Every structure is written in structure tokens, then in C-alpha cells.
Structure 1
Amino acid sequence: MRGWALALLLGALRAGGTELTFELPDSDKHCFHQDMERGIKFTLDYQVITGGHYDVDCYVEDPNGRTIYRETKKQYDSFPHHTEVKGIYTFCFSNEFSTFSHKTVYFNLQVGDEPPILPDMSSRVTALTQMESACVTIHEALNAVIDSQTHYRLREAQDRSRAEDLNGRVSYWSVGETLILFVVSIGQVMLLKSFFTEKRPGGGGAGT
């Protein structure tokens, strides 16, 4: 399972970021690794979509093994950080405190700043043309749309999970009520039947 999740993580790299939704079984932990240079900014966003109380433990370690972030039983959070040393950073999600709740976790890791859409945008001294300004505006608007779609997709998945869980509980409750009603009905019929079939003691012998 860990190798499969790591393969998905490596396959999801795009535009300096990683976006992944993975299954986290009960009493288990998944860790992911990212090699980063010194002085790079990264942001970790995560949210529990399904399972239990929608909470998970999360911690981040630098290449020296020092914990730079740790939260317990969080439903969602965001952690921005600038790297101080070069090497492999470890991002771990733990469900070890739960003995039976299976979780589904989404996380998004953005590494570094997004490259400019124009090659010389950061070094040019002249103002942007109307076409270039329109491209930048459209690019920023599309990024905002992507963020909104991700947010609402996660909310939809979480609400669907809660609705399905509630529907299952209502179904079980309805089945239980039906069985109780059936048993009570049979008991009432048997009780009424006993009133009419009760044997009365026979009369004494005939007198002489």
C-alpha cells in the first residue's frame, strides 16, 4: 500500500506541486518524501475526507530528523515553511490512534514559487502590453478557479460520505424497527390467542 501511494505521489508531480488523495487504514501510518534545496518555500495543505471523526495526526521532519510541524487529530490544516537545510523532507500522516476507522486523506504540497507565464517577466523594465496583462489576469483567474474547484470537490466528497453514513444508519434503524414491530405483533396475537384457548378446570362428579 505504501509503495502504491508513493508511486501515485511521484506520478502526480506537476508545476512544482503534488496533489494526492490516498487511503489511510486504521492503526497505520503513511510517509512521503520530497527532496528540496535550501531556502525554498513550500506549503502543505491537507484535509480528511472520510472516516471516523475526520481527523488525522500529521508531522513534518527536516533532513536532520528535526520535527518542524506536528498536529494531532486535525481535520484540516495548512503549513507554510521555508527550508533551512538541503535534503529530503518527510511528510507523515498517522491514523495509529484509531483502531477501526479507515480514513481518506487529501493533501497538496506546493514547492517553490510558480514560474512566470512570460519568460522575461521578472527581469523586464518596461510595462506589460495589454495582451500580456490580459494573459496574466486570465492565468490568475484560472488558478483561482482551480483552487475553488478543489475546495468544492473536497466538500462534496466529505458531504457525500456523511450522507451515505447517515443513510446507512437510518436503514439499519428502519430494519430494526421493522423487526421489533414484527415481534411485538406476533406476541400480541399469541397473547390474545391464549385468552380464548385457556383450558378451564372440569366440573366435579355428578351427585347421586
Structure 2
Amino acid sequence: MNHVDSLEKEMTVSIDPRREECFYENVKTGQVIDIEYQVIDGGQGEIDISFHLAAPSGRIVISETKKPENAHRIEATEDGDYRMCWDNTFSNFNSKTVFFELIIESEDDEDRDPWDLDLENFDGFNPEELYDMKIQDIQDAVGRVRSHLAKVRHIQDTLRAFEARDRNIAESNFVRVNYWSIVQICVMLIVGLIQVIMLRSLFDDKSRVHRFWKNTLGLR
């Protein structure tokens, strides 16, 4: 990938059991890597995933195991492709759906106050000169507004991912409760039927169950 001053990506991936998915992104020294992820769906209540971030040299920068979600912000100290991996090898049966968002930006862009208009810089200018703005100034202002809107969208995407995860958990619990409720009802019906048959057999001399109990008691 070619180097860019800023980058923003978001993706939802499905990671099969006993598999690991990795993604690469080119980063320059001094740029800030902002990575946030969360598991929005998993089987049988397993809402967790292992994650690690490796530098181009292979050095592990971040490593964590079985986390439902997390966010990291680091400054790159090497030029090259950084590797981000989500590991589901510890799960034998359940696939995981992971939402993540990656933002790469320069530290200078983060430190700059987009609304800081230093009026002292305009000392010595007359009103006509103040209105003589360059197109580049307008483009810079629009770029700063765009950056703030991107952060707002990032927050909205994060909240949407939380909502999707909570909905998946609720639906999974709903299916599980219904399943075991049906099993319990069936067991109760079978036990009740057996009890009725046994009680009736006690008063029916021709019943095979009655003869069975009679022979069994006779042996004792």
C-alpha cells in the first residue's frame, strides 16, 4: 500500500474456528495507529478473540488473549507494513464475527486545534486584507471539519457495533431458553405419562406392568 498522511478503514470479518486472520497496513515513523475492535457475534456465548499487533521487524507491539473488545493507540517507531492479527485458534467449534476500525494519522494533525483562530496573527492588516483569504485556507478549514465529522462517524460506528453485539447475544439467549424450555416440557410430559401408566397398572390385573411388578415383588 502507498503511504498516505491519514487513513481510516473499518471492516467486519468472520473468523472460523481454529483460524487466524491478519491484515497489513503501511505506516511511517511518527504516525499514530489507532485500532479499535470488538467481537459482535460468537457461538455458544463465546464473545472473545485474541489479538496482536506486530511491527515490520516482527516485534510484537501489542498482544492480548480472549478479549471481547479493546482499543489501542500507539505511535509508529518503524517504517513498513504493520501486521494486525485476530486469533480464533483456541475455539474448536465457534466462529467469531469481529468489527474493527483502523485510523492512521500524523501526530501533528491530532495536536492541531481546528478551531484555534489566533487573532494576533492579523495585527497590522486592514479589513480589506482580512477578506483576502487564499483557497488553501478554505481547503484547510474544510479538511479540519471533515476530520471532526470522521470522528463523529467513528463514534457512531462503534455504537452500532455495540448494538449488533448486544442483539446477537439477546437472540442467542432467546434461542437457548426456548430450546431448553421445550426439552423440559417434553421431559415433564414423558414423566407424567409414565406415572399415569404405572398407577393404572396397579389396579389392572391383566396389565403387563402389573404382572411385572407382581413377579418382582414375589421374588423379594
TM-score (ref. length: structure 2): 0.70
2-structure distance, mates of 1:85, 1:137:
27
1-structure distance, mates of 2:159, 2:81:
32
Q: How far 1:85 moved relative to its partner?
A: 1.7
Residue in structure 2 matching 1:94, options 62, 66, 87? 87
Cα deviations by residue, 1:125-163 (Å, 9 ceiling, x for unpaired): 55998xx7x968965663454233212211211111111
Identity %: 31
2-structure distance, mates of 1:197, 1:76:
65
- How many residues are aligned here? 181
Cα deviations by residue, 1:11-38 (Å, 9 ceiling, x for unpaired): xxxx611100100111110010111222
Q: How far 1:105 moved relative to its partner?
A: 0.7
Query: Hey, what does 1:162 align to over in structure 2?
Result: 169
Q: How far 1:101 moved relative to its partner?
A: 2.1
2-structure distance, mates of 1:141, 1:87:
28
2-structure distance, mates of 1:137, 1:66:
34
1-structure distance, mates of 2:181, 2:17:
29
1-structure distance, mates of 2:61, 2:190:
60
Q: Give matches, 1:165-180, under 5 Å.
A: 165-180=172-187
Structure 1, unpaired ranges of 5+ = 1-9, 201-208
2-structure distance, mates of 1:42, 1:136:
20
Q: Give matches, 1:74-113, under 5 Å.
A: 74-113=67-106
Residue in structure 2 matching 1:55, options 48, 66, 83? 48
2-structure distance, mates of 1:32, 1:66:
16
Deviation >6 Å, runs of 4+: 134-138
Query: Hey, what does 2:215 align to over in structure 1?
Result: none
Q: How far 1:76 moved relative to its partner?
A: 1.3
Query: Hey, what does 1:17 align to over in structure 2?
Result: 8
2-structure distance, mates of 1:81, 1:137:
22
Cα deviations by residue, 1:26-68 (Å, 9 ceiling, x for unpaired): 1110010111222221111111111143211111111111111
Residue 192 in 1 paired to residue 219 in 2?
no
When residues 78 and 31 of structure 1 are mapped into structure 2, their CA distance, relative to the original with a 3 A threshold, is: same
Query: Hey, what does 2:217 align to over in structure 1?
Result: none
Greater helix share, 1 or 2? 2
1-structure distance, mates of 2:8, 2:146:
17
SS, match of residue 101 in structure 1: coil
Residue 71 in 1 paired to residue 64 in 2?
yes
Q: How far 1:82 moved relative to its partner?
A: 1.6
Structure 1 letter corresponding to 2:73: P
RMSD value, Cα: 3.4
2-structure distance, mates of 1:136, 1:66:
34
Structure 2, unpaired ranges of 5+ = 124-129, 132-137, 211-220
